[in-house]
Each structure stands twice: as structure tokens, then as C-alpha cells.
């Protein structure tokens, strides 16, 4: 039977040979990488940004992985209007059924089933013969087809699979109803020449019903993910799987911004385009960095701070003569136009305009809070730059807004001695708590004081501090990880006072622990 919500889709039928579909897996492959995890609130903000960016397919998660992942996929599926929402599943009935349930309210849904096909994986991971692998794939695709609008099949470790056997598997997958056949470089091992050769071979030998396309999913273990993706496109792939900022397992995935701008900048060469609104690339990149608290490297292509910077005298001289001497695209093309510097005399309208350019559309209540904090920051700093605005609009951490809030704090430390902290906290239910603690440093003392005040035991795992902008008056960002009852939590704080930023980061963890416990129980009960 067909999915009850099935409707005609603009991508049904023969694909546009001049169009490459962007399959974004930031919320799945990207988010599952260490250091990049997002809670459901952050995932929803990222999902809306990806929709505004214009992605064709949004892989929202792996529903069978956990109750929270199931709930996140369901929430994204219900909210998205334009993109196809995708859920990952192993070729197992339980995984497929969980994906189908999570996608039930999607306007356009896809279940992405995957199964290992290489000799190494068949023998050591699956313990299956070639024929058994084909049978499992067929059964999984047919089961998934009954629970969504479309099915994608991935041959895991395709680049180390025998070419003739890969053709056999893809023929069976297409016959079973898969509309996308993905050949991933799962371990980031291949080269552009090998990638082009494989996709050329697949194009010539796989029997494909009308409308079935090939996809590439490349990892960056050897730094070749984008190059390999471009090679696949040149050889006929009409979907690429990628992430914002290239985040993902191990060394990451192909970076969407690099693929999109390579196709746009070298349009006469590639002769294909995407539906991405390139001016949204920089704001989306910065939003992801803010949500995960993982800064974008300065030298990162397309979206790094140095991507359009020219310090060399020779380069600057050439740029003054003609931008094309050393610039193959404009900062405005990716939404990274020259920063508008704001100060304490700047008004609400100017602030709202700059925030909108950076990708933040705030309601009046949120704008009130941001504007008030902007004025406070402007009193401390002579100039407020884009990085400061991203921190303000993104929020130091939404969890610092309650239920526990800082009323007052005092910290002191001595060279060669211990540090002491006193905190006064207030809970939304009216409770107040004051505690003092001594530690090896202000961070340790802060942890001790807050956990005593709130009754939440914490153990520090990691602590990082960085400047958000430049200068002695720059805001500091504190990122802190701590464990509570065997689970690891991360909190973030921003302030021109780094000790205050640390206090906010600690409080964010405590609030997250208190908020998450009933939510997790509720999700488990729903399933």
C-alpha cells in the first residue's frame, strides 16, 4: 500500500539534469559527532534555518537510537513545510517502523535505509552472503515504502564494494521501490578519480526506473570529501549528502557551503546548480556554531573569518585595483558582508536589521531582551561587532533563563592559593539558596557552590574559554562539560567577565538536568 499522505511532489518523475539536490544531514550525521550534540530546542532552531536556506532533504535523525531522537524527528517532521524530512533506519523492522511513526505528520517524508555491502563488512559486520544481503535490502525497502512517501537506499561502504555486486544490489533496490541510490564513501578512503569512475560505471550499468537518481555521501578522513562529492556530481550524481561547516563523524562530512559555492562559482564548468539561497550560508554557519558552541576555524573556506580577508600588501594592492584579482566571489554572495559596527547610541531598528542579516528573526519579547542586553554590553564595549550580536541573539544558553537564576555572586582567587565563590540563587518556584565553596580555582569553586545550592552533584569533565571578538573588552565565552549520575551535560555562558560567563555555564547545566528529567520520562511513556 502507499503512504496515506502521499501527494504529488515537484521532484517526482524524471529529475532535472541541471539541478543537484542538497541532502542535509547536519541534524543526524553532524549532530551525532562528539562535541556537536544539540537538544531538541536547538535542533528545531537549526531545522528552521535549514528550511530557510533551501535544502531539498533534511535528515532529522535516527528515531530508533533513543526516545529523545524519536521525539526530535517527529517535531521536525511536523514543523517543516518545504523540505522532505528524512529519518535514518537500519534494514531492520524495528528501525523502519520507528522511522515511519516519527515521520507520520511530515508533509513529505523519506525513510533512509542502509546496509553494508563491502566484502569486509559482509564477512565481519553482518556475517551474510551476497544473496542474503540483497534479500534483506529488498525486504527493508518494501517495508519502508509502506510507511513514507519515498525511500532512499544506501550501500554502506560502497566504495570498497565490488562494482558488479554494487550494480546487483542497486538494481534490486530500484526494483523494490527506492528512488535514491546512495553510494557513500563511508570511511573517507577514496579519491576523486575513483569516485568519478564508480559513478560513471553505475550510470552505465544500473537499471533505473524513471526518476531514480544516484547520491553521494562523502566523509573527510583524508580531506577529500568535497572533492569527491564534486567528482560524483560531474559523473552524474544528482544528490549530495552534506552538512553545514562539514561537521560529522570522525573528520566530518562534505561541507555544504563549499559544494554550493563551488557549483555556483564554477557554473560554466559543472553546468548544474542547487536550490540553496547562498546568502543564507554564513548566517546558518554562525547559528550552528552558536548552538553547538564549536567555533568555525578562521581559515575555513566560504564561511571562515579569513575567507574574504586580505592582509598581504600585494593582495591588498590588487584588491584596490580590482576585486577580481584575488576574490573569486563576493562576501555578500554568502551573507558575509562587511560588518556593521554598532555602539551605545545605536537604536532598536539598526539592531533588528543587523540581526536579520545574521539570520535572527526575533519576536518582540525576544527583541526586548536582546536590545536590553545589547545596551548593557554597549556600555562596557566601545564597539559591538557581529560576533557579539550572534552571542546575544543566540543566547548565552537558553537554560540560564531558569528555573534557577543567579541573583548575586562573588569570586576571588589567589596566586598559589585556593579560590572561593559565593552564590545566591533563586528558583522559579520562589525558593532561594545561598552557598559558598572553596576550590582549586574559580571554576572548581563555582561548581561546588552551585551544586550545594541546588542539590545537583556535578563532576567537571571539560572547560574551555575563548574570546568571541577582539580586544581587551571582548566578550568571553565559557563552555563547560560536567557529569551528573553518569550522564554528561554541556553548558555555555557569555560575558565580558569570564568568571560570570563560567557561572552562567554551570547554571545552564543544572537547569538542563532539572528540565530534562521529566521530558525524558514523558517521551519514554509516549513510545
Domain segments of the chain as ranges:
21-292, 313-394, 398-526
Paired strand residues for 436: 422
Spell out the per-residue pLDDT of the chain, length 527, in tens.
344 443 334 444 455 668 999 999 999 999 988 888 888 888 999 999 999 999 999 999 999 999 999 999 999 999 999 999 999 999 999 999 999 999 999 999 999 999 999 999 999 998 999 999 999 999 999 999 999 999 999 999 999 999 999 999 999 999 999 999 999 999 999 999 999 999 999 999 999 999 999 999 999 999 999 999 999 999 999 999 999 999 999 999 999 999 999 999 999 999 999 999 999 999 899 889 888 878 888 899 999 878 876 443 433 334 344 455 546 788 889 988 654 567 878 888 888 887 887 767 788 888 888 888 888 888 877 677 777 787 777 654 455 567 888 889 898 887 777 889 999 999 989 899 999 999 888 888 888 898 899 888 888 888 888 777 666 666 777 888 888 888 888 887 877 777 888 888 888 888 888 877 655 444 444 44
Residue 444's nearest CA partner among 418, 478, 465, 417 is 418
Helices (H) and strands (E) in the chain, counts: 17, 14
Protein fold of 398-526: Double Stranded RNA Binding Domain (3.30.160)
Here the cell at position 162 is 565490488
Residue 446's nearest CA partner among 426, 423, 466 is 423
What are the b/e assignments for 383-394, b being 16+ CB within 10 Å? ebbbbbbbbbbb
Residue 510's SS3 state is: helix
The torsion of the CA quartet 90, 95, 98, 100, rounded to 10 degrees, works out to 50
Looking at domain 21-292, which CATH architecture does it have?
A: Alpha-Beta Barrel (3.20)
Phi and psi at 42, nearest 5°, equal -65, -40
What are the b/e assignments for 3-17, b being 16+ CB within 10 Å? beeeeeeebeeebee
Residue 386 makes CB contacts below 8 A (sequence gap 6+) with 286, 339, 340, 354, 358
Amino acid at each position: 500500500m502507499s503512504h496515506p499522505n502521499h501527494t504529488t511532489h515537484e521532484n517526482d518523475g524524471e529529475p532535472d539534469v541541471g539541478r543537484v539536490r542538497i541532502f542535509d544531514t547536519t541534524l543526524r550525521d553532524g549532530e551525532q559527532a562528539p562535541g556537536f550534540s544539540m537538544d531538541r530546542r536547538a535542533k528545531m532552531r537549526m531545522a528552521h534555518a535549514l528550511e530557510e536556506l533551501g535544502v531539498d532533504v533534511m535528515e532529522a535523525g535516527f528515531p530508533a537510537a533513543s526516545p529523545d531522537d524519536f521525539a526530535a524527528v517527529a517535531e521536525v517532521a511536523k514543523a517543516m513545510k518545504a523540505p522532505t524530512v528524512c529519518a535514518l533506519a537500519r534494514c531492520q523492522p524495528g528501525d523502519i517502523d520507528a522511522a515511519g511513526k516519527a515521520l507520520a505528520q511530515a508533509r513529505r517524508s523519506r525513510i533512509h535505509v542502509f546496509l553494508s555491502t563491502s566484502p569486509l563488512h559482509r564477512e565481519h559486520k553482518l556475517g551474510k552472503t551476497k544473496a542474503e544481503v540483497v534479500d534483506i535490502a529488498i525486504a527493508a525497502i518494501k517495508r519502508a515504502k509502506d510507511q513514507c512517501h519515498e525511500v532512499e537506499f544506501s550501500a554502506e561502504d560502497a566504495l570498497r564494494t565490488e562494482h558488479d555486486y554494487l550494480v546487483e544490489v542497486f538494481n534490486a533496490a530500484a526494483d523494490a521501490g527506492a528512488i535514491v541510490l546512495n553510494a557513500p564513501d563511508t570511511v573517507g578512503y577514496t579519491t576523486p578519480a575513483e569516485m568519478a569512475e564508480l559513478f560513471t560505471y553505475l550510470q552505465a550499468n544500473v537499471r533505473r526506473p524513471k526518476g531514480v537518481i544516484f547520491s553521494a555521501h562523502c566523509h573527510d578522513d583524508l580531506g577529500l570529501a568535497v572533492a569527491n562529492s564534486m567528482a560524483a556530481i560531474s559523473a552524474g550524481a544528482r544528490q549530495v549528502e552534506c552538512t553545514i561547516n562539514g561537521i560529522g563523524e570522525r573528520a566530518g562530512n562534505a561541507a555544504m557551503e563549499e559544494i554550493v559555492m563551488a557549483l555556483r562559482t564554477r557554473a560554466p564548468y559543472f553546468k548544474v546548480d542547487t536550490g540553496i539561497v547562498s546568502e543564507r550560508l554564513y548566517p546558518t554557519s554562525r547559528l550552528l556554531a552558536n548552538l553547538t558552541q564549536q567555533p568555525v576555524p578562521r581559515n575555513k573556506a566560504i564561511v571562515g573569518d579569513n575567507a574574504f580577508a586580505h592582509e598581504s600588501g600585494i593582495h591588498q594592492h590588487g584588491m584596490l585595483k580590482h576585486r577580481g584579482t584575488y576574490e573569486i566571489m563576493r562576501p555578500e554572495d554568502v551573507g558575509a558582508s562587511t560588518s556593521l559596527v554598532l555602539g551605545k547610541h545605536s537604536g532598536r531598528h539598526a539592531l533588528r536589521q543587523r540581526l536579520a542579516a545574521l539570520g535572527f528573526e526575533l519576536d518582540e519579547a525576544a527583541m526586548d531582551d536582546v536590545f536590553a542586553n545589547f545596551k548593557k554590553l554597549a556600555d562596557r564595549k566601545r564597539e559591538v561587532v557581529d560576533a557579539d550580536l550572534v552571542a546575544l541573539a543566540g543566547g548565552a544558553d537558553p537554560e540560564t533563563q531558569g528555573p534557577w537564576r543567579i541573583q548575586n555572586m562573588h569570586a576571588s582567587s589567589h596566586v598559589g592559593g585556593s579560590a572561593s565563590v559565593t552564590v545566591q540563587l533563586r528558583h522559579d518556584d520562589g525558593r532561594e539558596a545561598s552557598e559558598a565553596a572553596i576550590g582549586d580555582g574559580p571554576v572548581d569553586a563555582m561548581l561546588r557552590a552551585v551544586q550545594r545550592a541546588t542539590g545537583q552533584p556535578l563532576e567537571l569533565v571539560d572547560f574551555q574559554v575563548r574570546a568571541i571578538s577582539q580586544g581587551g573588552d571582548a566578550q568571553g565565552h565559557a563552555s563547560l562539560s560536567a557529569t551528573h549520575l553518569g550522564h554528561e551535560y554541556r553548558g555555555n555562558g557569555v560575558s565580558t567577565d569570564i568568571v560570570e560567563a563560567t557561572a552562567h555555564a554551570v547554571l545552564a547545566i543544572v537547569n538542563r538536568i532539572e528540565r530534562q528529567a521529566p521530558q525524558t520520562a514523558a517521551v519514554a511513556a509516549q513510545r
